[in-house]
Amino acid sequence: MRGKGGSPAGRDTALDLLKWLALASMLLDHLRFVWPALGWLYPFGRLAFPFFCLAIAANLARNPAAPEPRRLLRYLGALLLFALLAEAPYRLLVGEAATTLNVLPTLALGLSIAQALRGPRRLGLLLGFAALVLAVIGDRWLMFGAAGALLPAACLLVLRRPLWCAALPGLVCLAANRWPPLFAEAAAWQPFALLVLGMCLVAPALGLAVLRADTAIGVPPFRRWGYLLYPGHFLLLAALRVL
């Protein structure tokens, strides 16, 4: 048997492609910490976070029922483990610009909130409520803030709806990227700021289009070892900056 896009059964090549595109977008964004002249890539880096949130939503939606507690805790545990492993490499690369934790705690909270929409399991509802409270309390320390923690749930709500419904996660993504100087520049019709905010608005729709595409090309599976690429790319870029 073959899965979507000609992959082995059980794998979704469109979902794998979305994850690889998210990783590529993140890498392009972080190149500016090594070569500041590449700061023009920043708008394209706004695709990474919503793509990862969509991947979380798609993983949750693969099963019609709420995820089993063991599966949910294993998924959540992997995010939290690599959040710890990535924090030092993240700060090594970003330096004084690191005013929040790395992105994985936000994704872990987002997973916990989104899975509460999948069914009435007591553990899931408790985790979702606790995650929502933590996201609100810890808004200032979370990359993309409390709005970012809500983005996987917003993506899950529109995953199987018409593409225009992606306006909802688009607005949540815009709120997650709130940065007063950026919004002030956009209000002054600065082209770069408008491009950044425009990418935030359309990123969920672009991600949904990727998920719905008939992916005929060969896409390498994005397995659990992919988590290593998050702290690994920080270390690689930090090493390149020293050379």
Sorted by where each begins, the domain ranges of the chain are 14-242
Q: Over 90: is that where the pLDDT of 234 sits?
A: yes
Residue 6 has what pLDDT? 43
Is the distance from CB of 217 to CB of 74 less than 8 angstroms?
no
Q: How sure is the predictor about 62, in pLDDT bands with cuts at 50, 70 and 90?
A: confident
Cα–Cα distance list, 45 to 32, 39, 74, 132 (Å):
10, 10, 28, 26
Number of residues assigned to the chain? 243
200 class by beta-carbon count within 10 Å (0-12 exposed, 13-18 middle, 19+ buried): buried
- What pLDDT, in 10s, does the model give residues 104-153? 999 999 999 999 988 767 777 888 999 999 999 999 999 999 999 999 99
Residue labelled with tokens 């294993």? 74
Task: Decide if pLDDT at 8 tops 50.
Answer: no
Q: Can you give the pLDDT at residue 67?
A: 63
Closest CA to 17 of 186, 221, 208: 221
Per-residue pLDDT of 189-199, as tens digits, reads 999 999 999 99
pTM score of the predicted model: 0.91
Is residue 144 classed as helix, strand or coil in its secondary structure? coil
Looking at per-residue confidence, does 191 or 12 come out higher?
A: 191
Tokens 């690994």 sit on residue:
232
Question: Confidence band (pLDDT; 50, 70, 90) for 22?
Answer: very high
Contact 118, 56 (CB under 8 A): no
State residue 65's pLDDT score: 61
